[in-house]
Chains A and B, each alone.
Chain A
Amino acid sequence: MSADQSKAIPRPTPETRPFWDGAAAGELRIQRCVACARHYFYPRPVCPHCGSSDVEWVTASGRATLYSYVISHRPAPGFAGDGPYAIAVVELEEGVRMMTNIVHTEITPENLALDMPLRVVFEPRGDVHVPLFEPAGEAS
């Protein structure tokens, strides 16, 4: 596979390293402010809610709901073999949102209802693992 055919591989920075280390370990790690007890995303050293630097890493449940999405018909490098794919924003049980792809279901508007339950899965990508989400079904 040539470089232009592979999906983009994120490169961690010191601030985001715990997130990517968590993904490699099969855990979705996000930050939580000790001072105001709220979670936030993307990784950064200061709580955006209260300004405190007293923040910690926690492991999220991995449960989420589908907040919004598009179905891309113009594949990015590495995505051509996937057919139309869902670029989604999901809302974690902890209240924060992140962009992801929806996988393990046929990507159609009928199959992707907003607010449907999802759970995280991890896809190896180069030397990191990328968090993706799949339908959780009624059992979740």
Chain B
Amino acid sequence: MTAVIIGAAETDEVGRLPEHSAFRLHLEGARNALADAGLTKDDVDGVATVGTPGPVQVAHALGVTPAWLDGTSVGGTSFLFHVRHAMAAIEAGLCHTVLVTHGESGRSRVGAPPRAFGPDSLLGQFELPYGTMGPATTFTVTALRYMKETGLTHEQLASVAVAQRRWSSRNPRAAMRDLVTVDDVLASRLVAYPFHLLECCLVTDGGGALVVTSRERAEALGTRKPPVYVLGAGESAESPIISQMEDFTTSRSFRLSSQAAFAEAKITHGDVDHLMIYDAFAHVPIYGLEDMGFVGRGEAGAFIAEGHTSPGGRLPMNTNGGGLSYTHTGMYGMFAMQESIRQLRGEAAAQVPGVEVGVVLGNGGMFMSAATLALANRLP
């Protein structure tokens, strides 16, 4: 059985939305995704979202009586986990139509959960005493080791931001649309050496939602938009704190989740027309390209710098502009999936011609968890 995404939409706007609470962003995403699917809340019997506000509150506010809930909350990739769990639940007959919602007031912090970690937590004892300030100072700490081991240059790292700006310049919804050069990136202020401002993700407000059902129900309902088939999915996790990642040059959960997704989908790298890799910071797509097996070890920096992931390149990647240039609410995974679905439907702002198979790699925390989805607009 194949799960099908029959509804997908983001909030009306993304960016700076001080009049929207995080909860309202969930509900707006849900409303738009249901409208996209041509369904009502009464067609939904499963709800999945992250721990805050959680699936109970989302289901209650929408007036959905759930037969199945998933509150998996493992960082920004959680929504990819929800799709995989929904596939399994639908296949097992636990429910038939699942709404996956995201809403986050990452910039305006309206109705947002506190970011505090107690002094007796793992972070409070073994990271915060060293002056960490969230992802910019922890997610990034692997990069110098990767650079030493592989020879990645500062210019190649900067080229990730350059490539993605080429995409976002074609996307009117993107927060940052001006083309930049490697020199521009390296001249932007240092946030946490070796990372400059333009190599770090945006911090925005926004949301989105998906409607997932079975192929049989999708055909019975008759979808308004071209169906997007979930051919395969995988998930894994590694360490809750970055210092315990077993090898700073490769992500185990990137490798394992993508291997599982490719195997289930029965696809090879040559089948992939379009790729989304969660880009909280410029090094993450480099790890992703290598850990998923699209390029060999140490080759991803040159691959991106040579333009192979840019418009016209042979592996279009992060075509909305990514977390670096499109939007990044904090838990970006929903937006990576939305862009993959738009490309497969042929409705992306920077549409790549002839996309039939797309892959999405979501990261959670600081290389803490990962999930991969293999999507297609046709059955194999």
Contact = CB atoms under 8 A, between A and B. Distances in A.
A12 B125 contact: yes
A57 interface: no
A82 B191 CA distance: 15
A126 B241 CA distance: 24
B145 A100 contact: no
A36 interface: no
Given A70-B137, A73-B192, A114-B144, A97 B244 contact: yes
A18 to B, nearest CB: 13
B131 A72 contact: yes
17 contacts: A7-B131, A8-B124, A8-B128, A13-B125, A69-B144, A70-B193, A71-B190, A72-B133, A73-B189, A73-B193, A74-B133, A76-B133, A88-B141, A99-B126, A99-B243, A114-B144, A130-B129
Contact of A98 (B126, B145, B148, B189): B126
Nearest to A99: B243
A73 B133 CA distance: 10
A6 B362 CA distance: 36
B143 A76 contact: no
Given A7-B131, A70-B141, A89-B248, A114 B192 contact: no
Contacts of A68: 141-145, 248
B144 A13 contact: no
Contacts of A51: none
Contacts of A100: 130
Contacts of B133: 72, 74-76
Interface residues of B, number: 36
A16 B144 contact: no
Contacts of A50: none
Given A10-B119, A87-B130, A98-B243, A72 B192 contact: yes
Interface string B137-151: 110111111001000
B144 A87 contact: no
B149 to A, nearest CB: 9
Contacts of A72: 131-133, 137, 191-192
A109 B119 contact: no
Nearest to B243: A99
Contacts of B42: none
Contact of A11 (B120, B136, B192, B242): B120
Interface in B93-145: 118-120, 122, 124-133, 136-138, 140-145
B146 to A, nearest CB: 8
Contacts of B128: 8, 10, 76
B332 interface: no
Contacts of A35: none
A89 B131 contact: no
Centre residue among A9, A70, A72 by max chain B CB count within 10 A:
A70
A12 B120 CA distance: 6
A70 B195 contact: yes
Centre residue among B118, B130, B137, B243 by max chain A CB count within 10 A:
B130
B106 to A, nearest CB: 17
Interface string A51-94: 00000000000000001111111111011001011011100000
Contacts of A114: 144-145, 148
B194 interface: yes
Contact of A41 (B120, B127, B244): B244
A87 B191 contact: no
Contacts of B124: 8, 10-11
Contacts of B190: 71, 73, 84
A72 B144 CA distance: 14
B193 A8 contact: no
Contact of B127 (A78, A79, A99): A99
Given A42-B244, A74-B192, 9 more contacts: A8-B131, A10-B125, A42-B125, A68-B248, A70-B194, A73-B192, A87-B137, A89-B141, A101-B131
Interface string A2-39: 00000111111100100000000000000000000000
Given A11-B118, A87-B141, A98-B126, A71 B248 contact: no
B122 A42 contact: yes
A41 B143 CA distance: 22
Contacts of B145: 67-68, 114
B125 A16 contact: yes
A114 B141 CA distance: 12
B323 to A, nearest CB: 18
Contacts of B248: 67-68, 89
